[in-house]
Amino acid sequence: MAKPRLWITRKLSDNTEARARRDYDVILNPDDTLSTADDIVRMSAEVDAILPCHSEHFNASVVERLDARLKIVANHSVGVDHCDLDALKAKNICVTNTPDVLSDATAEIAMLLLLGAARRAVEGDTMVRQGEWDTWSPSFMVGSQVSGKRLGIVGMGRVGQVMAKRARGFDMEVHYYNRTRLSPANEQGAVYHDDLPSLLAQSDMLSLHCPATEQTKGLMDRAAFAQLPKGAILVNTARGALIDESALLEAIESGHLAAAGLDCFVTEPGGNPAFAKHSNIMMLPHIGSATFDTRDAMGFRALDNLDAYFANREPKDKLV
Q: Is 239 a catalytic residue?
A: yes
Catalytic one of 10, 120, 158, 286: 286
Which entry of 175, 239, 295, 301 is annotated as an active-site residue? 239
Residues 50, 44 contacting (CB under 8 angstroms): yes
Is 250 catalytic? The answer is no
Cβ neighbours for 140, distance < 8 A, ≥ 6 positions apart: none
Catalytic residue among 64, 253, 268, 314: 268
Contact 25, 5 (CB under 8 A): yes
User: Are 213 and 197 contacting, i.e. CB atoms less than 8 angstroms apart?
Assistant: no
Phi-psi region of 26 (alpha: psi -120 to 50; beta: other; left: phi over 0): beta
Instruction: Please report, as a single letter, which amino acid is at residue 169.
Output: G
Can 175 be counted among the known catalytic residues?
no
Helix, strand, coil % over all residues of the chain, rounded to 5:
35, 15, 45
Q: How many CA atoms lie within 13 A of 303 on its CB side?
A: 21
The span from the CA of 127 to the CA of 133, in Å, is 6
The catalytic site residues sit at 239, 268, 286
